[in-house]
């Protein structure tokens, strides 16, 4: 399938089925052909530059030009050239490098121009990856990372608030239920009061 055809199909399905947020057809196609599983209301994952296997949680925001590289050139071979590992060159029959699963939690924001390298296998719930970052390590829940290579910057909330937010699993609520709390989204302490019962 040509790139134009793929882009047209993506555009058509997004328009017809309410965007990446809601399109079950896109989710099925990307799971079947790219090994990308995307949770409800997540967007930014349906393009050519993201390699699976990848599991994306719910309410994930992925910026433009996001790249996920799932495996590296081997550095312990005598050459790093693809002739030594890629069947496309015809020298080997099978690529022995393993694609690692990357799990992106719920409510994660990944900024524009972020690259995630094979050393990163998990991005925790509620975390933020700053625009332009090159991520090589796992990221904990509600942490903010940025830079090249990306480093921990700070936590979004104090540990107690972050733990309570994570325990609510608010992303699993039905949309109609969640909309009831929209006025408290800007105030985590008030939002958490709804879950104290």
pLDDT of 59-80, one tens digit each?
999 999 999 988 888 888 989 9
DSSP code string of 11-55: HHHHHHTTHHHH-HHHHHHHHHHH-EEE-TT-BS--STTB-SSEE
- Residue 170 above 70 pLDDT? yes
What SS3 class is residue 194? coil
Q: What are phi and psi of 122, to 5 degrees?
A: -150, 130
pLDDT at 141: 97
Residue in the structure block whose two tokens are 């992303």: 171
* CATH of range 3-156; options 2.160.10.10, 3.30.450.40, 1.10.3720.10, 3.30.200.20: 2.160.10.10
Residues 182, 187: Cα–Cα separation, whole Å: 10
22 annotated active-site: no
pLDDT at 186: 93
For residues 97-107, give the mean pLDDT: 92
- Residue 9 above 90 pLDDT? no
Residues 197, 176: Cα–Cα separation, whole Å: 19
Mean pLDDT of the chain: 90
For residues 103-129, give the mean pLDDT: 96
For 81-94, the pLDDT digits (tens) are 989 988 988 899 99
Token digits for 51?
């390699």
pLDDT at 164: 95
Q: Are 145 and 151 in contact (CB under 8 A)?
A: yes
pLDDT category of residue 1 using cuts at 50, 70 and 90: low
Whole-structure pTM value? 0.87
- Residue 118 above 70 pLDDT? yes
pLDDT at 14: 73
Nearest to 178, CA basis, from 166, 159, 195, 164: 195
- Residue 98 above 70 pLDDT? yes
- Domain boundaries along the sequence of the chain: 3-156, 167-197
Q: Which listed residue (22, 33, 47, 73) is catalytic?
A: 73
Least confident of 32-46, 97-111, 126-140, 157-171: 32-46
């Amino acid at each position: 399938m040509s790139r134009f055809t793929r882009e047209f199909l993506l555009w058509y399905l997004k328009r017809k089925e309410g965007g990446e947020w809601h399109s079950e057809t896109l989710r099925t196609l990307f799971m079947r052909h790219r090994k990308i599983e995307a949770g409800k209301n997540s967007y930014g994952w349906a393009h050519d530059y993201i390699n699976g296997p990848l599991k994306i949680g719910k309410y994930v925001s992925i910026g433009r030009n996001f790249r996920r590289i799932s495996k590296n050139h081997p550095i312990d071979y005598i050459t790093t050239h693809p002739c030594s590992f890629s069947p496309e060159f015809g020298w080997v029959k099978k690529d022995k490098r393993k694609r690692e699963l990357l799990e992106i939690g719920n409510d994660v924001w990944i900024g524009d121009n972020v690259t995630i390298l094979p050393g990163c296998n998990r991005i925790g719930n509620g975390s933020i990856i700053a625009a332009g970052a090159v991520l090589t390590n796992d990221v904990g829940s509600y942490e903010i990372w940025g830079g090249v290579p990306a480093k921990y910057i700070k936590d979004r909330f104090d540990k107690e608030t972050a733990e309570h937010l994570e325990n609510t699993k608010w992303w699993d609520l039905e949309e109609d239920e969640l909309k009831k709390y929209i006025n408290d989204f800007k105030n985590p302490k008030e939002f958490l009061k709804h879950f104290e019962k």
